[in-house]
Structures are given as structure tokens and as C-alpha cells.
Amino acid sequence: MIAFDIVRDFKRVLKKEQYEKLVSNSLFYAPLYLPVYGFMTEIKSWPMKILTVMELEDPSNLRAFQDYAIKYYPDRPVGELLERILIYIR
């Protein structure tokens, strides 16, 4: 199983407040797996479901990630998300 899909499935079984806390805590306490993987699924199709560091560092992909983050994580500052991602890949 893919962790992203498991977390997404939690949305169906957890109370809304619990699910939002789970996602919020994952963004605060862990590497930014959920936003990066979710973004990758938006821009890639099977069987090429992989996002390389080189692709992520591309300015056009960073802008596309900003748009994705604003849409799916509106309660988190996009600059903070980008900063944390760049820390992990450099």
C-alpha cells in the first residue's frame, strides 16, 4: 500500500476534526511527504509516478507546486512548505 492512499482513506473513517489534525500534524512534525506525493500524482501518470529532485528543483515545477499547495493546503503558508522541501532535497 502507498502511505498517501492510506492517509487519504482515513478521511472516510475518521471524524473531520481528527483527519484534519492528522494531516496538519504530518505537515508540522514530519517530512512533507503528503504534499510532495500528492503533487507528483497531479503532474505524472502511470507508469512514470516518480518525481526526481532535479524535476522538483525546476522553477516551473516549483511554481506548479505552489499552485497545488495553495489549492490543497490553504491553511499552510506556501513559502514555509517550499522552504522545508528545499531543505530536504539539498
Top-confidence residue, 46 or 66: 66
Q: How far apart are CA 9 and CA 15, in angstroms?
A: 12
Give the closest residue to 34 by CA, choosing from 67, 75, 73. 73
Residue 90 has pLDDT above 80, yes or no: no
For the chain, the structural domain boundaries read 3-89
Q: How far apart are CA 68 and CA 90, in angstroms?
A: 21
Residues 13-50 pLDDT 10s: 999 999 999 988 888 888 788 899 999 999 988 888 88
Give the closest residue to 38 by CA, choosing from 58, 75, 17, 67. 67
pTM value surpassing 0.85: no
